[in-house]
Each structure stands twice: as structure tokens, then as C-alpha cells.
């Protein structure tokens, strides 16, 4: 009887641990709950809220050793956070952009293993004559690595923002909350 009770307690603890960790994390904070609660957690990690745009909170702070602007994305109905992105300004030369991208990609690879997918090309081709910075500005460049993990998707990509310049974006999308958000949109159809 004691063995049965001990087995039940162990199973309960294991199940509780699994359910407590069902969401992807960003800087150690579970990507779950309302935007305001998520922002409060990030503020305890040193981030500063600088605004709100279209329901997304915008924060600044250090992420993976670099100054970053962080954007949260949440469901319009439930207000639960489902995606968080950190954006780094990456400089005005391709070599600078590529260095930031490769540094982040290397760190993510150390943590999550080899990427699930990698696309690093301009309009489907890349050679020594391709001006990659020009292709980036023309929105004809895909430079992205993605990791599919049990709890969601993590990616790093290069982009160009006309108001900021060249950026590297690191995104974390929680699988469960992303699916819930998608279901809310499907309810509209």
C-alpha cells in the first residue's frame, strides 16, 4: 500500500511539473497570461515599458547581452500573450548585420541544437556578386533560421525597417497560446 501511495505521489509531482512548464519562455518568463502581467514579469528582469502600439507592449532592455527593443503580441479577445520578439539594431553594413545574426544564431544553436530550417538567400539564389544589403532593402532577401521545439517556435531573422534601419529579430512563439489565438480568429469565420 505504501508503494502505491508513493507511486501516486511521484506521478502527481511529475504531472504537475509537466503542466507547469507547458509554455515557451522568454528570458525565463513563461509566454502566457495577459500582456500586463507578462510586462510586469519582464520589468522585474530589467526591461522598461516604453509604449503600446496596436495592443502590443513595447519595452527596451538587454536581451542575450545586447540592447534590444521587445514587442509582445497577444490575442485580441483573451489578451493572452502568444509571441515575443526582440529586435536589435544591426548596423549599416552587411558584415555588421551578418555578425549580429550569426552571433544570435550560434547562441540559439548552443541552447536548442541545430535549426529545424535555415534559409539564407536573396530571391532564391546567393553568390559572391549578390549585394545582400541591397536585396535586404528591396525586401528580396530571406535570411532566417528556425527551431521547432515542443513548446513552440524560435527564430532569428534579418529585416529592414525604414524608420530604424537594418535589424535582427529574435522571435519566440508559444505553441499553445498561438493555437488558442488562431482558434479565436477561426471563430470569426
Check residue 130 and give its pLDDT: 65
Question: Between residues 9 and 115, which one has the greater pLDDT?
Answer: 115
Do residues 72 and 83 make contact, with C-beta atoms less than 8 angstroms apart?
yes
Check residue 125 and give its pLDDT: 62
- Of 109, 176, 103, 105, give the one whose Cα is nearest residue 144: 105
Cα 156 from Cα 167, distance rounded (Å): 11
Cα 161 from Cα 116, distance rounded (Å): 26
Q: How confident is the model at residue 18 (pLDDT cuts 50, 70, 90)?
A: very low
pLDDT digits (tens, 9 = 90+) for 42-96: 999 999 999 988 778 999 999 999 999 999 999 888 888 999 999 999 988 999 9
Check residue 131 and give its pLDDT: 86
- Of 46, 135, 147, give the one whose Cα is nearest residue 98: 135
pLDDT digits (tens, 9 = 90+) for 159-172: 998 888 999 999 99
pLDDT digits (tens, 9 = 90+) for 96-145: 999 999 999 999 999 999 999 999 988 766 666 568 888 898 888 899 99
Nine-digit cell string for 40: 510586469
Check residue 129 and give its pLDDT: 56
Q: Is the pLDDT of residue 4 over 80?
A: no
User: CB within 8 A of 72, min separation 6: which ones?
Assistant: 35, 38, 39, 56, 57, 59, 81, 83, 84
Instruction: Indicate the pTM of the whole model.
Output: 0.83
Check residue 8 and give its pLDDT: 42
Which three-class secondary structure state does DSSP give residue 52?
strand
Check residue 178 and give its pLDDT: 78
Amino acid at each position: 500500500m505504501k508503494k502505491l501511495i508513493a507511486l501516486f505521489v511521484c506521478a502527481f509531482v511529475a504531472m504537475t511539473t509537466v503542466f507547469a512548464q507547458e509554455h515557451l519562455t522568454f528570458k525565463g518568463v513563461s509566454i502566457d497570461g495577459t500582456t500586463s502581467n507578462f510586462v510586469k514579469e519582464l520589468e522585474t528582469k530589467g526591461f522598461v515599458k516604453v509604449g503600446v502600439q496596436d495592443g502590443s507592449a513595447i519595452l527596451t532592455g538587454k536581451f542575450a547581452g545586447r540592447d534590444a527593443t521587445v514587442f509582445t503580441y497577444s490575442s485580441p479577445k483573451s489578451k493572452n500573450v502568444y509571441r515575443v520578439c526582440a529586435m536589435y539594431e544591426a548596423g549599416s553594413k552587411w558584415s555588421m548585420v551578418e555578425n549580429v545574426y550569426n552571433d544570435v544564431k550560434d547562441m540559439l544553436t548552443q541552447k536548442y541544437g541545430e535549426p529545424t530550417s535555415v534559409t539564407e538567400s536573396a530571391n532564391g539564389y546567393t553568390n559572391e556578386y549578390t549585394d545582400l544589403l541591397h536585396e535586404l532593402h528591396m525586401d528580396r532577401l530571406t535570411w532566417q533560421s528556425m527551431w521547432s521545439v515542443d513548446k513552440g517556435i524560435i527564430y532569428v531573422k534579418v529585416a529592414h525597417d525604414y524608420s530604424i534601419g537594418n535589424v535582427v529579430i529574435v522571435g519566440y512563439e508559444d505553441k499553445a497560446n498561438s493555437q488558442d489565438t488562431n482558434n479565436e480568429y477561426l471563430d470569426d469565420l
